[in-house]
Amino acid sequence: MHISDGVLPTSVTLAGFALTFAGAALSLKQVRAEDLPRIAVVTSSFFVASLIHLPFGPTSVHLLLPGIVGALLGPVSFLSITLGLFLQSILFQFGGLTALGANAMMMGLPAVFCGLLFRLLRGKTLKMHTIAGGLAGGLGTLLSAVILAALLFTAGEDFLGVAKLALLAHLPVVCIEAGVSAFIISFLFRVKPELLNPGGFPRHDR
């Protein structure tokens, strides 16, 4: 779920922008010049992944994958998610331009947190990786939904109902997200485990 323009009070949108700039600047500090093209690649592959819809009963949901971004990129995931959301906003109008800061906080903070959680929980075995991946994936979406509800609530008491509904609507997505994330991590562990190593992604040896 992306918050559109005109919902949040101006003070909240401006604070969101300030925090997002700070977060992105912190992320950017950890990035070396030669990493830029690779972060672009991760960002666009997650952008594409979020366009794919999975059937859920009569309707369909699309995945957000903040947990997986965090697991693959670590702290840099905040930057990646901010860029992805900016592009989604300007290409599709998913999430408004003025709400971009708030949206980036909503998705970026859970990604960074779940990345840390994943690093802590995963052991050496496939089973532990799968469980940690599922937890990170589900928790990432759940935290995003909680932040979304909190942001909507800052817009006034009129939005309490919407905030509750949005939180409720995310619960099935959390389950699907946890399942798919677990399978993604288990696939990556078996096929290309170096993607899950600390440092995010393989370095060039030049």
Partner 1 sequence: MTGNLEIYLSGAVFGVILGAFLLVFAAVLLIVRKKPGVRFQGATADWTLPALDAYADRSSFFHGWDPRVKIATIFFYCFAVASLKSLLWSAMALCIGIVAVIACRIPLRRTVKRLGAMAGFLAMFLFVVPFTSPLRQGEILLYLPFLHGIPFHGHGFAVALRIVLKACAIGLMMEPLLATAALPVTLQALSRLGIPDSISQMLLLTHRYIFVFLHETKRIYRSMRVRGFRPKTDIATMHSMGNFFGMLFVRSFDRTQRVYDAMLSRGYNGSFPSFTHFATTRKDWCKALLWAMIGLALIWLDRFRGYSTW
Contact set for partner 1, span 114-173 (CB under 8 A) = 156-162, 165-166
Contact pattern for partner 1 over residues 82 through 121, marking x by CB under 8 A: -xx-xx--xxxxx-xxx-----------------------
Q: Name the minimum Å distance from CB 38 to partner 1.
A: 5
Residue 186 is a binding residue for partner 1 (CB under 8 A): yes
Helices 66-73/77-92 angle, 10° precision:
140
Residue 174 is a binding residue for partner 1 (CB under 8 A): no
Based on CB atoms, which residue is closest to partner 1, 34 or 123?
34
From candidates 127, 168, 171, 192, binder to partner 1 by CB under 8 A = 192
Segment near partner 1 (CB under 8 A); pick from 106-114, 121-129, 138-146, 179-187: 179-187
Residues 6 or more apart from 197 whose CB is under 8 A from it?
A: none
Residue 202 is a binding residue for partner 1 (CB under 8 A): yes
Segment 17 to 56, residues that bind partner 1, using CB under 8 A = 24, 28, 31, 33-34, 36-45, 47-49, 51-56
Based on CB atoms, which residue is closest to partner 1, 98 or 143?
98
Contact between residue 28 and residue 78 where contact means Cβ atoms under 8 Å apart: no
Max intra-chain CA distance, the chain = 58
Based on CB atoms, which residue is closest to partner 1, 48 or 120?
48
Closest CA to 108 of 2, 14, 18, 20: 20
DSSP string, 29-95: HT--GGGHHHHHHHHHHHHHHTT-EEEETTEEEE---HHHHHHHHGGGHHHHHHHHHHHHHHHH--S
Residue 201 is a binding residue for partner 1 (CB under 8 A): yes
Based on CB atoms, which residue is closest to partner 1, 19 or 86?
86
Residue 65 is a binding residue for partner 1 (CB under 8 A): yes
